[in-house]
Chains A and B, each alone.
Chain A
Amino acid sequence: MPIFDLSHPADLTAALFPDLLLMGGAMVLLLWAVWRRESAAHQRTIGLASIWLCVATLGAVLYMLFHQGHVTDGPIAADSFRFMVDVIVLLGTIAALALGIDDNDRMGTTTAETHVLMLLASSGMMLMAAARDLMIVFLGIELMSVSIYALAGLNRRSVRGAEGALKYFLLGAFSTAILLYGIALVYGATGTTGLYEIHQRVVELQLGSSPLLLIGMALLLVGFGFKVSSVPFHMWAPDVYDGSPNPVTAYMAATVKTAAFAAFLRVWLEAFNAEIGTWHRAVAMLAIATMVVGNTIGLLQRNVKRMLAYSSIAHAGFLLVAVAAGSMQGASAMLFYLLAYTLATFGAFAVIVVLSRGDAPVTTEDLSGLWTERPWLAVAMAVYMLALLGFPVFGGIGFFAKWYVLKAALQAEEPQIALAVTLVLTTVVSAGYYLYVIMVMFMRPRPANSEAVTPTPGWTRFVMVATAAAILILGIFPDQTVRYVVRGTPRLGAYVPPVKTAPARQAALTH
């Protein structure tokens, strides 16, 4: 068991090895991308190299997960929570890159640097998962967001794309300002940005009723609310998801949400753990509003991408239930949920990549009678829809994901009956649109004037088969999977005493 003393640059580098591998690799790929003349083949090569870089990073992350050492209190954590989030983020990135290669062959919207931008966004997400300092949380969010602003606007010929990208950029900048103001106020109240130090100071100096801290926490909640697209901070999501290229939308809906929730949970459970009485009610209200609004408006959508956008808002509500539980069990339920949600979302968007033609949105009309023309595509879509719904057996791990969140809510120190009831009821409501998609695919006739569905490109097929298989197979062994994910959380609240007694920051503050 290595011990990382984060005040030494060498140890800091070692503890950040997977992140640095991804960042450094992305820069090398950037040079390679601009070295050659732009061509479809070159772009494909860069895409493949990016996938391999992610696989290598995944290897490094898994190595760290199994050989994780102790770290001193510092800007980053090296616990299993971080590495489990990294695994989910990297799986999502690989899927998004794979879909991106195929989508570009078809639409020709992207340049070779696009893949690099996605890698940079992913390294920002990995930093968010690792961050134990509000400054690193903020920089991770910014690194992710700045890359995604550009990715969302890739499709510049499309008016919807431009509108969505601009909305995302403006609201993203606005929410960043709110988040930063919150961070500044928390720093003003506690004199530190370290998550654990904030917790210590709040307890020691009894800052619980300090207006600086309370307003700071409220602003942080609003800022994170924007980033995870919870109601009432969700207005941007449907337009942005609708206008962005399909692989980017999948990436935003699943992977960005994973990273945002990871940072959200860590800040809330590490820094404001003692204040749970203060923030719990607010998070629970957000969760209820998000579940109800996301699922009911989802019912009205006929554009499949918009429907999935509202579905992703609804899932943010389910994930907020896990945060509101405020326990380690809630944290592990959240990780498991994020894994299931990422797999199902990328699968569903792989189907959309196959079905989409040009700039026209994919509607439920395009799905009707898919069973008669492309049975396997319809079956795969059905699996993803059932997984998102949380249907037993055929929905694979989707069911267990909801089940564990429910369990975490009910077994929290203060059982969350209202949240659990809302979760179950809104899940029933969500069946209205998930099952509608399945009904349309299997029971409606294929419209006579519909064009033939294009053959599934290789990488998209790979994503569909891999996600569907993972959903179904992991659904057979949920206990093993969960036991594995639970490994990821117990260290979240536990701290290794610093190797050196006084970190430099505290010394600087006292003199």
Chain B
Amino acid sequence: MTHNELPLFYVFHVYFFGLVAMISAVCFVTRRSPVAAALWLVNTMFCLAALYVLLDAQFIGVMQVLVYAGAIMVVFLFVIMLLNLGHPSELDDARGIWWKLAAGGIGLAMLSQVLVLTKARLPESLVLPEGAIAEQIAKSGAIAPLAGPLFRDYLLAFEVTSVLLLAAIVGAVVLGKRKERGHAA
């Protein structure tokens, strides 16, 4: 499908949300205040969610808002406020000019890499026929086609993820627990 075949409405929104997402991301890494940075990140997440919806992945778009823009960002802001990190004046800018240049260089490398990737053509056999996803959604809804593979083909990966989360919790508890020296017998 080329751009010409897509409705102008669609193309406009892809570019609009893509542009806003990029600007927000740049603001996110350049703000000195953690709270402002976090809010820009929320904005980026919202734009990505909109892009997912435009790509016919409505469920993932909703999840993006609920989980990332919602739950995770709220916890993030709580942590910033509880630790009282919200004052930019107290934070030294650890990023020297060379680090900024290096980050810019990596950013340019990633950009050129993305430009190379846009030249890539997928083999015909791997591309879904046009309208296949819309047809699938019309037939069984947006969630069922996701749930099937998740609990059948990727069952093991799904279960391992829960162990991974457990390990993260145990790690946080171990690090958070205070233990005094000389406790040993």
Q: Which of B117, B167, B182 contacts A143 (CB 8 A)?
A: B167
Within 8 A of B (CB), among A81-139: 104-111, 113-114, 116-117, 120-121, 123-124, 127, 133, 135-136, 139
A106:B167 contact, CB within 8 angstroms: no
Question: B113-130 CB contact bits vs A (8 Å, 1 = yes)?
Answer: 100110110110110000
Question: B159-185 CB contact bits vs A (8 Å, 1 = yes)?
Answer: 011011011101111110101111111
B160:A116 contact, CB within 8 angstroms: no
Given A108-B181, A150-B174, does the pair A27, B125 have CB atoms closer than 8 Å? no
Given A212-B117, A212-B120, does the pair A150, B156 have CB atoms closer than 8 Å? no
Q: How far, in whole Å, are A229 and B167 apart by their CA atoms in the complex?
A: 23
Chain B positions within 8 Å of A109 at CB level: 179
Segment from A151-159, A232-240, A472-480 that makes contact with B: A151-159
CB distance from A456 to the nearest CB of B (A): 17
Given A136-B160, A205-B126, A505-B153, does the pair A124, B167 have CB atoms closer than 8 Å? yes
Within 8 A of A (CB), among B58-73: none
Q: Which of B120, B153, B170 contacts A116 (CB 8 A)?
A: B170
Q: Using CB atoms, name the residue of chain B closest to A106.
A: B184
Number of residue pairs across A and B with beta carbons under 8 Å? 121
> Secondary structure at chain A's binding surface: helix, strand, loop or mixed?
helix
CB distance from A119 to the nearest CB of B (A): 10
B171:A211 contact, CB within 8 angstroms: no
In this assembly, does B141 line the interface, its C-beta being within 8 Å of a C-beta of chain A?
Answer: no
Q: Using CB atoms, name the residue of chain A closest to B148.
A: A508
- Count of B interface residues, CB-CB < 8 Å: 38
In this assembly, does B147 line the interface, its C-beta being within 8 Å of a C-beta of chain A?
Answer: no
Q: Quick one: which of B117, B148, B153, B161 has the most chain A CB within 10 A? A: B153
Q: How far, in whole Å, are A209 and B174 apart by their CA atoms in the complex?
A: 47
Q: Which of B161, B174, B182, B185 contacts A117 (CB 8 A)?
A: B174
Q: How far, in whole Å, are A215 and B123 apart by their CA atoms in the complex?
A: 17
B117:A123 contact, CB within 8 angstroms: no
In this assembly, does A75 line the interface, its C-beta being within 8 Å of a C-beta of chain B?
Answer: yes
B160:A108 contact, CB within 8 angstroms: no
Chain A positions within 8 Å of B179 at CB level: 38, 108-111
Chain A positions within 8 Å of B174 at CB level: 110-111, 113-114, 117, 150-151, 154
Chain B positions within 8 Å of A205 at CB level: 123, 125-126
A113:B153 contact, CB within 8 angstroms: no
In this assembly, does B96 line the interface, its C-beta being within 8 Å of a C-beta of chain A?
Answer: no
A143:B160 contact, CB within 8 angstroms: yes
A127:B167 contact, CB within 8 angstroms: no
Q: Using CB atoms, name the residue of chain A closest to B119.
A: A211
Closest 3 CB pairs of A and B: A150-B171, A191-B126, A40-B185
Further pairs besides A136-B156, A139-B161, A190-B126: 14, Cβ < 8 Å: A30-B170, A75-B157, A108-B182, A117-B167, A133-B157, A135-B154, A146-B164, A147-B167, A150-B172, A185-B117, A205-B125, A207-B123, A210-B120, A212-B117
Report 17 cross-chain contacts, Cβ distance below 8 Å, ordered by A residue: A30-B170, A41-B185, A108-B179, A108-B183, A108-B184, A113-B174, A113-B177, A120-B163, A120-B166, A136-B160, A140-B160, A143-B167, A146-B168, A191-B126, A210-B120, A211-B116, A505-B149
List A residues at the B interface (Cβ < 8 Å). 9, 12, 16, 23, 27, 30, 38-41, 75-76, 104-111, 113-114, 116-117, 120-121, 123-124, 127, 133, 135-136, 139-140, 142-143, 146-147, 149-151, 153-154, 156-157, 185, 188-191, 201, 205, 207, 210-212, 215, 503-505, 508-509
